[in-house]
Amino acid sequence: MIKTIRSILFACAALLAAGALPAAAGNVILTIEGDIAGGAPVDMTLEDIEALGAATIVTKTPWHENAVTFEGVPLSALLEKAGATGTILSVLALNNYRSEMPVSDISEHGVILAYKQDGAYMPVSDKGPLFIVYPFDADPALKDEVYYARSAWQVRSITVED
Amino acid sequence: MARLSKNIFNLLAVALAIAFLAIYVVHSNVVSDTDNALDRSSRYDVAWVGAAGRLESLHLQNALSNFIISSDSADASQVVLFADILTSRFKVFEAPAFQSFLDRKERRRPLLEKARGRFAAIVTDLKSIETLPTAARENLKLELEKVNAAVDRIGAEAQMDSVNEVAEIRKELKKKQYLQKWIATGLFGSIALLLVIAAVQNRYLRVANRKAVRNADEFSYLAHHDNLTGLPNRMAFNKAFSASVARFKDGVSDGLAVLAFDLDGFKAVNDRLGHATGDALLRQVADRMSHTCSGFPNAILSARIGGDEFVAMLDTALGEEAVLRQAEQLRAVLSAHYMIDGAAVIVGASVGVAISKPDRDPASLLIDADIALSQAKSSGKDRALLFDPAMHDLFLRRALIQAELACAIDNDQITPHYQIKVDVRTGRVTGAEVLARWTHPTLGPISPGEFTKIAEQSGLIVPLGRKILEKACRDALHFPAGMGIAVNLSVVQFVRGDLVQTVRDVLADTGFPADRLTLEVTESLMITEEGRAVEILSQFRKMGIAIALDDFGTGYSALSYLRQFEWDELKIDRSFVMEIEEDSRAGSIVGSIVSMAHQLGIKVTAEGAETCGQVTMLRKAGCDTIQGYHFGRPVPFSDFPAAMLQAVAASAKLKVMEDAADSAVA
């Protein structure tokens, strides 16, 4: 745990140096890097992401009182678009939260990168702009701290690793 | 012991069932508790929410401090970003799991709500930080420090709570594990106990099974052996017989022979020497039987199937002749005298032999052997006789006669017939012999020799004899005056019932004069019941009834009989009459009998005269009266007058012929 916190602190420092990114239209809100086609990081705007198609998950989460309808791009579509070849996604959030998830989760559970919650785009002040959502209600095995920890919100970048 | 152990087993089984049930209940509770614990472990997220809140709040405060020092717009945008992020965090604090964490301590919620209020009051300013004057920025920093302190405190407590909760959960899990270990131990123990019980019970069952098998063997032996002689019994014989019959039918064996044995005179041994001697005799018979049979290579089984009834079963591999020889050998062995308690006991043995034939059901072999045996006994005893199908018919006929005899007597189917006796000197009819005749509706005429034998065996001869006597007396009342009747008596009539009283009653009832009645008895009466017979016959004579000795010359013809009783009449057997013309010695014997009888004052009657020649010879030999077909066959009462005329005619014709012959000689 200390290690995790430490890594978060380091990431935090890195972001401080890089400067903040506002979540306005036309702005880059997601960067995909690591083992992807071409090797160079790919920046994406909300429009770029929406263009990849949409999927919906209706589920309860530990962070909401009632069931919520999430709408977003399937992570599989996103990784396909980026030409990702790795097995692990290292996800970094705006709040410097960093989590890792196996790529296999995506095909197994149909994980999405949500940008809408109950029909509205998510602002940073409410877990926006991007939120990794598992269909918790679809599989009891998902109601586990491991998957809760992988459900990062305020996602800023995804690094594909081997 | 067995019952006790069974009860114990039942109790143990019930106890184990209860134990299993209890274990199941405890186990399912433990499992559901564990589920709850896991559920709680998923609230571990509270720690992350708290920790992340602390970092975000700290980050916002640092960004604000940096901006106050640098007035750099990059720092300002960090302030704006983290103001949004902290706003988001406060929303996350509203999640149910975090709420229940807050509720666990009273002061938490007010603390957090106060911080939320403070932050809400400054968030707009924070997001437009670049436009604020310096003093306001400092103020903002002080307010944010208070928010930060509260979030830091709450976040730290969330982490601590989680740590404590995890520790508690671990402790609980450990307890459950411990309990589950005991449950597992209990289960294994129960299973082990069950196995032990099963093993013990199995042992009991094995012991019981062995005992049952032993008992069954014993019972089987007892069931299949005669406990007096140790020979196989009827049941064993039947089994072996069925098996042998099946083998014969299947063509496995060539043939089968059944030998049925019966001791002649066993009843007398039992009656006179006692049952102990009878039993000893049977044991010796059984010993001889099995010993002799064991010397036969073709013997299958010898058995005792009834009181003094033994059977031997042989196969016919050695041929029928050999079987007959073996039957005769067995009969001879069984007939040899026995030594019992130092005394010789003599009994005879009769054997009936039945041998399987292709055209006859082998299943009837035992019955056939029995039929042959009864035929052997009724035709003279102490002999071996082979069954032939005619015996079977005879047996059936006898059975039918036996069954219908009583009915026939009641319904007057058996009636007296009369055969005329002629005085050879005068040619006059002196009387008639009464002969019982039975014309059966389906069998036709049945000879008296046949049915009287059966009637004697069943004792029906007593009512039959009385009925014939009575009827004959009534009929004879209609005969010409002075004409008498002669009625035969059986030995059985002397033994059973009161013969004297019966005759007296009949004479009284019918009014027939005693001096016209002759009663005929045979030699056998004098052999078997001499004393009693003489006494009864004497009473008859006193009543005026004449007594005749029948069939003289056939049996022992002991002259002593002639001395023991004052006979009125002697009847020479037909066997002498039939040969009197050809055999001069027969003529001499008849002459001697007649002269001896006459000297004793006894009249002589010859029976069975059929020809003129015989009649002439008999007359010349000195016979007083003659009876035979020459003068007439036995006729029913209704034909008697005609028969009389015929007899007189025959007599007259004879007289004429004899006179002619005499004058021819002269």
- Judge whether residue A1 has pLDDT over 50: no
Q: Which candidate from B45, B55, B91 shows the least CB-CB separation from A62?
A: B45
* pLDDT tens track for B201-241: 889 899 999 999 998 888 888 888 888 888 898 888 988 89
pLDDT category at B434 given cuts 50, 70, 90 is: very high
What's the mean pLDDT in B397-424?
A: 89
pLDDT for position A26: 75
Cα separation, B352 vs B349, whole angstroms: 10
Does the bond joining A102 to the residue before it have cis omega, within 30 degrees of 0?
Answer: no
What's the mean pLDDT in A103-120?
A: 91
* pLDDT tens track for B154-164: 888 888 888 88
Indicate the class that CATH gives domain B2-199: mainly alpha
CA distance A62 to chain B (A): 6
- Per-residue H/E/C for A84-140: CCCCEEEEEECCCCEEEEECHHHHHHCCEEEEEECCEECCHHHCCCCEEECCHHHCH
pLDDT for position B444: 86
- Judge whether residue A151 has pLDDT over 50: yes
Selected residue with higher pLDDT from B571 and A19: B571
pLDDT category at B538 given cuts 50, 70, 90 is: very high
Determine, for residues B44 and A145 on separate chains, whether the beta-carbon distance falls below 8 Å: yes
What's the mean pLDDT in B593-608?
A: 92
User: Considering chain B, what percentage of its residues have pLDDT values greater than 70?
Assistant: 95
* Whether A115 contacts chain B with CB within 8 A: no
pLDDT for position B427: 84
Q: Measuring CA to CA, how many Å separate B386 from each of B254, B325, B360, B598? A: 18, 11, 15, 47
* pLDDT tens track for A19-46: 333 344 578 889 999 888 888 888 999 8
pLDDT for position A20: 37
pLDDT for position A21: 38
* Whether A65 contacts chain B with CB within 8 A: yes
Determine, for residues B95 and A63 on separate chains, whether the beta-carbon distance falls below 8 Å: yes
Q: What is the CATH number of domain A2-161?
A: 3.90.420.10
Determine, for residues A126 and B56 on separate chains, whether the beta-carbon distance falls below 8 Å: no
CA distance A51 to chain B (A): 26
Residue B488, token pair as written in the block: 């035969």
User: Considering chain B, what percentage of its residues have pLDDT values greater than 90?
Assistant: 24
Q: CA A37 from chain center: how many Å?
A: 19
Per CB-CB distance under 8 Å, the chain A contacts of B101 are none
* Whether B543 contacts chain A with CB within 8 A: no
Q: Provide CATH 3.30.70.270 ranges for chain B.
A: 234-387
Architecture of domain B234-387: 2-Layer Sandwich (3.30)
Q: Is the pTM of this model over 0.80?
A: no
- Please list the alpha-helical segments (H only) found in B252-340: 266-273, 275-294, 320-335
* Whether B264 contacts chain A with CB within 8 A: no
Determine, for residues A96 and B59 on separate chains, whether the beta-carbon distance falls below 8 Å: yes
- Judge whether residue B614 has pLDDT over 80: yes
> Which H/E stretch holds residue B263?
strand B256-264
Give B424's contacts (C-beta < 8 A, 6+ positions apart).
B615, B618, B619, B623, B624, B625, B626
- Judge whether residue A122 has pLDDT over 60: yes
- Judge whether residue B624 has pLDDT over 60: yes
Are residues A69 and A82 in contact, defined by beta-carbon separation less than 8 angstroms?
no
- Judge whether residue B416 has pLDDT over 50: yes
Over its C-alpha atoms, chain B yields an Rg (Å, rounded) of 63
What's the mean pLDDT in B580-586?
A: 85
- Judge whether residue B512 has pLDDT over 90: yes
Cα separation, A101 vs A114, whole angstroms: 16
Q: Measuring CA to CA, how many Å separate B342 from each of B278, B337, B338, B339, B349? A: 14, 12, 9, 6, 21
Q: In CATH terms, is domain B398-665 a member of 3.10.110.10?
A: no
pLDDT category at B500 given cuts 50, 70, 90 is: very high
Mutual angle of helices B448-458 and B461-476, in 10-degree steps: 130
pLDDT for position B35: 55
Per CB-CB distance under 8 Å, the chain B contacts of A154 are 85, 88
Cα separation, A66 vs A39, whole angstroms: 41
* pLDDT tens track for B272-330: 888 888 999 999 999 999 899 988 888 888 999 888 899 999 888 888 888 999 999 99
- Judge whether residue B43 has pLDDT over 70: no
- Judge whether residue B2 has pLDDT over 70: no
Per CB-CB distance under 8 Å, the chain A contacts of B42 are 62, 143-145, 148
